[in-house]
Amino acid sequence: MKRFILLIILVFIGYVSKSLWEERVQQFVPLTITDSIRSTVDSVKENPEINFAIDTLNQQLNSLFLTLNNQPSESNDSKVERPKLTAPKDQLFSIHNIELGESRADVEQEIGKPKRTSKNEYGVSWDAYHENYQNFIMVAYDEEDIVRGLYTNQDMIASSTGIKLGSPKQTIQEQLGTPESIMRKGLVNYEINSNGEYDVFQLDNNYVTIFYDKHENNTVTAIQVIDEELEQNKNDFYTESSQEQKEGFEYQLFDLTNASRENHDLPILTWDDHVRETAREHSMDMAENQYLDHTNLQGQSPFDHMKEDNIRFITAGENLAYGQFSSIFAHEGLMNSLGHRKNILQESYEYLGVGVAFNNESQPYLLKIFIVISRLFRI
């Protein structure tokens, strides 16, 4: 029993000594736990027999961690076969062999029912289809269940021009021409300021947005195709705030994160409602007080927020986004920011909570908190 207790203590110390925080975040371990560990270690360290046992356990722990780190991911044990993609018949692009104008019945006959339905910025919903985040796509239907929007960040893109995931940016512009610099809505022209991260093209009565991965030589990393009428029905770049819209952005960011992790053969994250509430509180504070920072105006860090909310963890990370007009644009922007990308693709993370709030101008503040709760403490 003593050896087992010492093993648990040493495992905990080994974990909490890791410093995996990104983006100006400092590690936090509840004082009640650290004090308990400290007093326990102080009481045994002077005993020679215990010291010998500790040395032995250290060797065993090193072997244990090596074994755990080399275990295959639970979420990626089985790969789903990618469908054979064919050139679209009526549109320039298809995704998972689906084109705008098809019916929901035809889509779901081919790929089954959606895993999630959540409200998007166009006043309709994104239906997410995937098999454990493999073959991931999102489809938007109108009131008559006709496909009016498509998105994927996986190898589901087919085009009559040969454009696909991984195509160079130069090839895109050679094939599709000069991207749009403005988008007109009603009597207002909105400037498209993409910072080179995406191009918008108006083709076949559709708006096609091609996203690029700056860290993969500016190659295609995702595509969104939106029916022109659906786009024009959205009167502004930003959508009106509502509880349903907040939840929509939150769940979409969660799904998009997992789809990107699947692309890199990483474990799939589990949704955490408790963490979501902490993220929402900080997003609301930023929206109401018009700032963007991991630390609030009272000097409290994300760790302080989680301590107040009684969230216990081993390590954690936090991503912030502001001003993007959808969950898709927010996610693609985070993937092009190296620090945020590291959090999204951090192998050790196990849970994710996303919190969204809107300011008075309907601009969203999006916050994602990743945490690790070691499997060893769930026995």
Buried b (16+ CB within 10 A) or exposed e, 148-164: bbbbbbbebbbbeeebb
Q: Are residues 259 and 212 in the same domain?
A: no
Please, is 50 exposed, middle or buried when counting C-beta atoms within 10 Å of its C-beta (0-12, 13-18, 19+)? middle
Q: What is the pLDDT of residue 51?
A: 43
Q: Render the burial of 241-260: b for 16+ CB within 10 Å, e for the rest.
A: beeebbebbbbbbbbbbbbb
Q: Quick one: tokens of 339?
A: 């620090």
Q: Is-above-0.85 flag for pTM? A: no
- Same domain for 6 and 29, yes or no, is yes
pLDDT (0 to 100) of residue 54? 42
Query: Are both 209 and 257 inside the same structural domain?
Result: no
- Whole-angstrom distance, CA of residue 210 vs CA of residue 214: 13
The answer on 117 and 45 residing in a single domain is no
What is the distance of C-alpha 320 from the center of its chain? 11
290 and 359 share one domain: yes
* Judgement on whether residues 158 and 271 belong to the same structural domain of the protein: no
Per-residue pLDDT tens for 181-240? 998 877 788 888 889 999 999 998 999 999 999 999 999 999 999 999 999 998 777 888
Domain at 130, CATH number: 3.40.33.10
CA distances from 38 to 4, 44, 45, 171 (A): 17, 10, 11, 60
- 319 and 215 in one domain? no
Q: Hey, is 336 helix, strand or coil?
A: coil
Say whether both 262 and 215 belong to one domain: no
On whether residue 77 sits in a domain, the answer given is no
My answer on whether 167 and 264 are in the same domain is no
Shared domain for 309 and 352, answered yes or no, is: yes
Q: State the residue range of the domain holding 6.
A: 1-59
Q: Is 248 part of any domain?
A: yes
Q: Is residue 73 a part of any domain in this protein?
A: no
56 has a pLDDT exceeding 90: no
Query: Are 268 and 346 members of one domain?
Result: yes
Kindly state whether residues 195 and 100 are assigned to the same domain. Answer: yes
- Would 83 be classed as within a structural domain? no
24-45 confidence digits (pLDDT tens):
333 322 333 233 333 333 333 3
| 88 inside domain | no
Is pLDDT of 340 > 80? yes
From 212, 233, 254, give the residue that closes a domain.
233
- Count the domains in the chain: 3
Q: Look at residue 124 and give its three-state secondary structure.
A: coil
C-alpha to C-alpha distance for 96 and 27, rounded to whole angstroms: 42
Distance CA 226, CA 209 (A): 8
- Which of 189, 207, 233 terminates a domain? The answer is 233
The whole-angstrom separation of Cα 152 and Cα 262 is 13
Is residue 74 included in any domain, yes or no? no
Q: Radius of gyration over alpha carbons of the chain, in Å? A: 24
Q: Per the domain annotation, does 271 fall within a domain?
A: yes
For residue 317, what pLDDT is reported? 92
Using one digit for the tens of pLDDT, what is the confidence trace for 59-98? 444 344 434 443 444 445 578 888 999 999 999 999 999 9
Residue 303 burial (CB count, 10 A): 20
Q: Is residue 70 situated within a structural domain? A: no
Q: Report the phi/psi class of residue 375: left, alpha or beta, with left for phi > 0 and alpha for psi in -120 to 50.
A: alpha
233, 260, 281: which is the final residue of a domain?
233
Selected residue with higher pLDDT from 113 and 16 = 113
